[in-house]
Amino acid sequence: MKPINKSKTATHVKGVDAKRTARKASSATTKPQAKPKHLQHPKSAAKPKSDIKPNVKPKTDTKPSNAATKSKVVGEKLQKILARAGQGSRREIETIIAENRVSVNGELATLGDRVELRSDTKIRIDGHLINLATVQKQVCRVLMYYKPEGELCTRHDPEGRATVFDRLPRLNGSRWIAVGRLDINTSGLMLFTTDGELANRLMHPSREIEREYSVRVFGEVNDAMLFRLRKGVQLEDGPALFKSIKNGGGQGINQWFDVTLTEGRNREVRRLWESQGIQVSRLIRIRYGNISLSKQLPRGGWQEMALTDVNYLRDLVGLPPETESKIEQHTQRRRMKTAKIRKAVKRFSGQPSSRRQRHDR
């Protein structure tokens, strides 16, 4: 048996210990390598901040809202309700809402408000309570009015001048709404209604409802001018044109024309002729849609339209037909009013009693 070489064994043990010590040192100083993303466990992957609390709901206002009468989700637009109540066209009502003159159940109304009508709903304009019962029961009525020159298309004039509303019949619970305007020096057909929605749609440019005028011009009119007026000219507020121009007679520099438009901008007929250097000396509106100025109607006179004509206008703008009419109750009153106006026109104008000529030419 060979003797054990102790020195060689000790040297081997020292070598093994040295290797172990070196491995421990290297493992302590070297950082572990991260696993590739596709090998990582989903729970260990970092999450973006927005996904940290996916189930947390945003805070909501817990205060009670007046949803029973005023809401952005339910109900009808306030201006439409007031228009149906005969308080004006939607455009007029939007103006008074913006002027902070309308309240709903004691709260100041703003544009865009919706109201759910209930038995306890109270709407006020300038502090005056509006009768909402007429919103559901309101009968759509339409008047044809022959506006004379010199009358303003406004309800009140600070200078005390005559307005188109002065001669209209009085209403209980609603009021007459003018369908468009005519300037002070223009006469002819005007329509008035108790239905604000009907008035708003009839006036809206998108409906392209025809308006026909008889116009007397002063100046030499040539074919080139008429061509430009039919094709379109540039005005201060945009392009404009006559849909049709028909010669209505006359001689020399005073001629009559019948012109048709499909919109109602301020003084549009006059400005179109002025763009060609021609002055308008007389302007009479004779037709609105299919409604023509009645030959039997005197200046300043009004006539309530029959149900068939009312429904023609409603169908023209996409509104359901009206089923009721009050024209039977006011027929005699209308005739008496027309007779009084005819006498008044004769008295103030100083003209002899005679039937007016067609379109007051």
- Active-site entry in 17, 157, 166, 183: 183
213 and 133 assigned to the same domain: no
We report the CATH number of the domain holding residue 121 as 3.10.290.10
Cα(43)–Cα(154) distance, integer angstroms: 74
Q: Is residue 63 part of a domain?
A: no
Residues 6+ apart with CB under 8 A from 220: 253
| 212, two tokens | 């026909």
Task: Flag whether pLDDT at 241 surpasses 80.
Answer: yes
315 and 187 assigned to the same domain: yes
pLDDT band at 276 (very low <50, low <70, confident <90, very high): very high
112 and 214 assigned to the same domain: no
| 329, two tokens | 């109750």
Q: Is residue 50 part of a domain?
A: no
Q: Is residue 49 part of a domain?
A: no
126 and 259 assigned to the same domain: no
pLDDT band at 172 (very low <50, low <70, confident <90, very high): confident
Neighbours of 235 (CB within 10 A): 16
Neighbours of 131 (CB within 10 A): 16
Q: Is residue 18 part of a domain?
A: no
178 and 325 assigned to the same domain: yes
Q: Give the residue numbers spanning the domain of 240.
A: 142-360
| Torsion region of 139: left, alpha or beta (phi above 0 gives left; psi -120 to 50 gives alpha) | beta
Q: Is residue 234 part of a domain?
A: yes
pLDDT per residue as tens digits for the range 180-234: 999 999 999 999 999 988 999 999 999 999 999 999 999 999 999 999 999 999 9
Pick from 11-25, 92-106, 173-187, 314-328: least confident: 11-25
The β-bridge partners of 77 are 114
pLDDT average, residue stretch 326-333 = 56
Q: Is residue 112 part of a domain?
A: yes
85 and 234 assigned to the same domain: no
* φ, ψ (nearest 5 deg) of residue 195: -105, 105
208 and 237 assigned to the same domain: yes
Cα(166)–Cα(301) distance, integer angstroms: 11
Whether residue 258 lies in the annotated active site: no
pLDDT per residue as tens digits for the range 14-68: 555 555 655 655 555 455 555 555 445 555 444 444 444 455 545 554 444 444 4
Instruction: State how beta strands 279-288 and 187-193 pair.
Output: parallel
Contact criterion met (CB below 8 Å) for 219 and 278: yes
301 and 153 assigned to the same domain: yes
Q: How far is residue 258 CA from its own chain's centroid? A: 30
| pLDDT the model gives residue 83 | 82
More confident residue, 313 or 196: 313
Contact criterion met (CB below 8 Å) for 322 and 313: no
Find where tokens 């301020």 sit. Answer: 266
| pLDDT the model gives residue 253 | 83
pLDDT average, residue stretch 85-103 = 88
More confident residue, 146 or 327: 146
77 and 132 assigned to the same domain: yes
| pLDDT the model gives residue 333 | 44
Length of the chain: 361
Q: Is residue 35 part of a domain?
A: no
Residues 6+ apart with CB under 8 A from 346: 352, 353
Residues 6+ apart with CB under 8 A from 312: 289, 290, 291
Last residue of a domain, one of 78, 111, 137: 137
279 and 185 assigned to the same domain: yes
We report the CATH number of the domain holding residue 182 as 3.30.2350.10
Q: Nearest CA to 231 among 192, 198, 272, 182? A: 272
Q: Nearest CA to 225 among 242, 239, 212, 237? A: 242
Cα(171)–Cα(174) distance, integer angstroms: 6
Looking at the structure of the chain, the number of domains it has is 2
Find where tokens 């430009």 sit. Answer: 228
Last residue of a domain, one of 137, 162, 183: 137
Task: Flag whether pLDDT at 173 surpasses 50.
Answer: yes
Last residue of a domain, one of 119, 137, 155: 137
178 and 213 assigned to the same domain: yes
172 and 110 assigned to the same domain: no
Cα(125)–Cα(98) distance, integer angstroms: 12
Q: Is residue 121 part of a domain?
A: yes
Taking the CA atoms of residue 147, residue 150, residue 154 and residue 157 in that order, the dihedral angle to the nearest 10 degrees is -150
pLDDT band at 148 (very low <50, low <70, confident <90, very high): very high
